[in-house]
Structures are given as C-alpha cells and as structure tokens.
Structure 1
Amino acid sequence: MFRGPHEDRQSIAELNGTYADGVVRKDAGTWGTVWAEDATWDFFGNLFEGREAIVSFWEQAMSGIEAVSFHCVPCMTEVTGDTATARVQTQEILHMKDGTTRVVGGLYEDRLAKIDGQWAFTHRKFGIVAEYNPKGD
C-alpha cells in the first residue's frame, strides 16, 4: 500500500535513490546522509546503533567488494505525519575482490522520520529473499 502525501512518498523514494547511488559508487559520504543520527540498522540480526556505527560497519563490509550494481524498488510506503514505514525490494550483483560474483535479492523493512524537513531512515531491517552463488561457487 502507498498511503500519505505524494510529496512525502516521492521524497522517500528519492532517499532510496540516494542510498542506491552511495552503494553503487561505494561512497560512504553519500550513503551516510540517509540515516538519522540515532538510527538503527538490523543487518542479518546484527544491530548497529547510531549513524557513525552504521557507516563504519558498512565501509568494512564494502571493503571486500570490487564493484556492485544495486537496484531498489519501493513496495510499500505509508506516511503518517512526520513518520513513515516502508518496504523496499533490492537486487544486487556483487563482484567481489576475490573474483567471485554473487546475486542477491533482498528486502528492507523501514521506519523513517522527517527531521528538519528531510526524510531519514530511523530503522532499517535487511534480509535476503533469494541468492545465487552465495559462497562464490
């Protein structure tokens, strides 16, 4: 379901675009801008708290990746005032530095807030829906 003001839903879609742009360019500066200062990220059951910790972990995780293609498609966005929930499907092609390639289909479950007029992720939970070549086989 897509509910709430179109302008807010569009801003949230653009926030996902900024996230994807940061991933593809492996640019922590861009990628880090989408998170609230006190955000949390549940990445496979590992909880990272605060933008600084989230970005630090992401930089470490990205260090083993040579190149990545990252696409995201909003499945649901529901805005209520200055908060929102969303689900976003992702498709990633990861070319690892060891020469292997992985293809990952994932799902983000998000909570967001409008802070000083800008939308930011306050919580993201990521899980893999489908994966090809998970160990580089």
Structure 2
Amino acid sequence: MSNLESIVDRFEIEALRSEFTDAGMMYDYDRLASLFTEDGVYRIPDVNIEQVGREQIRAGSERLKGQWDYFVQTTHPGTIQLQGDTAVGRAYVSELIRLRDGSSYLNYAVFHDRYQRTEGGWKFAERVFEVRYLDTTPLAGSAPQAADAKAQAQNDPTSSPK
C-alpha cells in the first residue's frame, strides 16, 4: 500500500467516524445503520446492549432516542491501524444525556472499532462503546427547544395548568 493510499484510507475512516456522530446527533437512524456492514455489530457492554445487523442497529438507536430529552455527543480522533481491507481503531467520546425521566449522564468513553473496506467504502464491522467515566449528577442546563416548548405551554391560555 502506498503512502497516498494509506492517507486516503485514514481520511475515509475518520469521515466514517464523523458520520456516525452526526447521524446520531441528527437522529438519522437509516444513515447511522448504513455506516455498518450488513452483519455489523454495535455493542455497549455496560448496559448489555448488542445489536447485530443494520436493522437491529437502526431500531435500537431509535429506541434510545425515544428515551432522551436531549443527547450531545462529541467524538475525538484516536488511532487507526490499517491492515489491507480491514482496520482497527479507537475514537474518544464525551456525551451529555438527559433522559425523559429526568436522569442525567455525563460520560467519557472509548469506541473500539473494527472497519471493513466494502464496495460502498469503509464501514464499521464492529463498534464497542466502553465508558471510562460516568457522572449521573443532574445536569444544570437544558435543551433550548425543550425550554422553548415549556415556556410556550406556560404562556398558552388554552393549555391546562402546570
């Protein structure tokens, strides 16, 4: 593999990781599932989640969204080790999550990845989310759209009293 091919592969894998974060933040679960191979696996061992195949990954991601008041994920580049048409790597993650039940999570984690080159470009063969730090202290902030909706409801004379 030439140095230029290696650079292109690394760039494409980094773009794949960025697409994952963007698809999750934009609640685009079809796109998120398409980032995996047909038999790709997404795991979150700390909460016993294992989704195998695009349909399970899509459905599981949509179920999670139904629990969130808001979700913010930032991913930072990590390592990539190319091995021909496969690669392994890590990416570093921080998340802010507030669930509809009022519980909150701030975590710092690592994605442990296996990548596969396909006809459609690089895809995740496996993505494992390992939490390294978790803080469940209630988050002080709020999602602007949630705050706006609450304010509108309080100012709407036709709404029921809160």
Amino acid at match of 2:117: K
Farther-moved stretch of structure 1 (99-108 vs 34-43): 99-108
Q: TM-score, normalised to structure 1's length? A: 0.88
Mapped partners of 2:27, 2:115: distance in 1: 23
Q: Normalized per residue, which structure has more strand?
A: 1
Once the two structures are superposed, the pairs formed by residues 1-137 of structure 1 within 5 Å of their partners are: 5-44=6-45, 45-133=48-136, 136=138
DSSP-derived class of the 1:98 partner: coil
Structure 2 stretches lacking a partner, 5+ long = 140-162
Q: Give, in angstroms, the shift of residue 117 of structure 1.
A: 4.7
Ranked by relative contact order (alpha carbons within 8 Å, sequence separation 6 or more), the top structure is 1
Name the % identity: 22
Q: Cα–Cα, structure 1 residues 117 and 58, in superposed 2: closer, same or farther, change >3 Å? A: closer
2:11 match: secondary structure: helix
Q: Which has the higher helix share?
A: 2
Q: Distance in 2 between matches of 1:67 and 1:27?
A: 15
Range 23-32 or range 78-87, more displaced: 23-32
Deviations 1:65-121, CA, capped at 9 Å, x for gaps: 122111111211011211100111110111222334321111111101010050000
Distance 1:27 1:68 in 2: 13
Aligned-residue Cα RMSD (Å) equals 2.0
One-letter identity of the residue aligned with 1:9: R
Aligned counterparts of 1:6 and 1:129: Cα–Cα separation in 2: 30
